[in-house]
Structure 1
Amino acid sequence: MKIKPKEYKVRHLSYILRSAEEADAKSISEIRLLIDGETENLDREKGEAYIDEQGFKEIIRRDTETINHLFLAAEVDGRIAGFARCEGNHLRRTAHKVEFGVGVLKDFWGYGIGKNLLKEAISWADSANIKKITLSVLETNEKAVQLYKSLGFEVEGTLKKDKQLSDGKYYDTILMARFTPGFN
């Protein structure tokens, strides 16, 4: 699925949120690798589950052609600074929901890019008759948990001692969801 590009200006930074295009595949592959190495908030360590340019081309193509998929890119001065995806499936019993994931380069944290990617995904989901958006977040990422709650997500559960971080300790993963208003 595609969305109409939208420009944002925050302090001295301007960026555009738009649907990802196959031409973005190389950049997205490269920044995903960087993002994975910048934070422990994601599932992967740097280099794990690597997706190359061709892999991202295929994902972007599939997401563009599939009604319950969305792949967004955040562009700053012609450079990809972050991305987000909503991925649904074709199974009738779960076709009403999508899973949301996001990544933003650390240099661009604090400009609302992640928040606006999520807002765009919510808007798309509501207009595409998606009833539920799910996501998972590490318990230590309190800022993200608060953001998700402020945008209507609620905690559905916790996966205890789900991730081992570099300090050797195990941490919980919080499962959250947002339901389309009026969905019972």
Structure 2
Amino acid sequence: MKIEQATLQNLSEVHEYMSGIFELKLNGLSIRPNGFTKEETKQYLPEASGSKEKLCAIVRYNDKIVGQLSFSRYSKPEYVHGGKFGMSVSPDHWRNGIGSRLLEYLESWAIENEVEKLELEVWSNNENAICLYKKKGYEVEGSRKNAIKANGQVLDVILMGKILANKTSHRTHAGGEMLLCEANNIEEPCAGKPHAGIVPGATG
């Protein structure tokens, strides 16, 4: 497996992956009765590699996308040091450490591009995703009460964030790629049901 940066040149395959994820109606992901359009996919992709405003990281396995993370930097001057992201992992590849590796890749990219704060939103019933983020140093910063109604449930949206230390990146990804070890990267961050790997921030 490897992680690489996607751009508008990868629109078709990223759209195919994201459409497939939304069709699964996973826990923590908004329902889209009319599907997920290519125009919606476009907003998560930078026009070219080297962008400091957007990141779309994809995980490939046997040349197929099995995971994706999208980050967008805030545009207002007072907020430009931070941004918001969302990610997903194909259910067939849960429990293989892909979510952790995507978060590490994002942090490495953010430090290189002088992003100081990473933020996300997650549904309150997505306990294993919340546990994973806490394990990676994210803190609960607040919530939006009763913000979600889904599957007969009324849920909160949990706001989480991580302040990055002012340090040199510990991981290089020359050419926008990072290889993932396969056999030894299996992890189970939390007990119980596998987490959906979905954060409805950039992709919800």
TM range (shorter): 0.7 to 0.9
The equivalent residue for 1:71 is 56
Aligned mate of 1:37, from 23, 41, 47 = 23
1:90 aligns with 2:75: yes
1:173 aligns with 2:157: yes
Task: Give the percent of matched residue pairs that are identical in Structure 1 and Structure 2.
Answer: 25
Aligned mate of 2:8, from 14, 19, 22 = 22
Aligned mate of 2:131, from 146, 165, 170 = 146
Work out the number of aligned pairs and report it.
166
Decide whether aligned partners of structure 1 residues 57 and 160 sit closer, same or farther in structure 2, where only a CA change above 3 A counts.
closer
Decide whether aligned partners of structure 1 residues 58 and 153 sit closer, same or farther in structure 2, where only a CA change above 3 A counts.
closer
SS, match of residue 109 in structure 2 = helix
Aligned mate of 2:115, from 130, 136, 153 = 130
Unaligned runs of 5+ in 2: 168-204
**Amino acid of the structure 2 residue aligned with 1:70:** L
Task: Give, in whole Å, the separation in 2 of the partners of 1:128 and 1:115.
Answer: 20
Kindly state the Cα deviation for residue 85 of structure 1 after the two structures are TM-superposed. Answer: 1.0
TM-score, normalisation: structure 1: 0.81
Question: Could you say which structure has the higher strand fraction?
Answer: 1
Comparing 93-102 with 60-69, which one deviates more in the overlay?
60-69
Please tell me whether the aligned partners of residues 96 and 132 of structure 1 are also in contact (alpha carbons under 8 angstroms).
Answer: yes
Task: Give, in whole Å, the separation in 1 of the partners of 2:95 and 2:146.
Answer: 29
1:31-59 deviations in Å (ceiling 9; x for gaps): 212212320212x214557231x654564
Task: Give, in whole Å, the separation in 2 of the partners of 1:158 and 1:55.
Answer: 26
Please tell me whether the aligned partners of residues 68 and 130 of structure 1 are also in contact (alpha carbons under 8 angstroms).
Answer: no
TM-score, normalisation: structure 2: 0.73
Kindly state the Cα deviation for residue 182 of structure 1 after the two structures are TM-superposed. Answer: 5.3
Task: Give, in whole Å, the separation in 1 of the partners of 2:58 and 2:143.
Answer: 29
CA RMSD in angstroms comes to: 2.2
Task: Give, in whole Å, the separation in 2 of the partners of 1:125 and 1:93.
Answer: 17
Unaligned runs of 5+ in 1: 1-14
The equivalent residue for 1:8 is none
Decide whether aligned partners of structure 1 residues 98 and 58 sit closer, same or farther in structure 2, where only a CA change above 3 A counts.
closer
Task: Give, in whole Å, the separation in 2 of the partners of 1:118 and 1:63.
Answer: 21
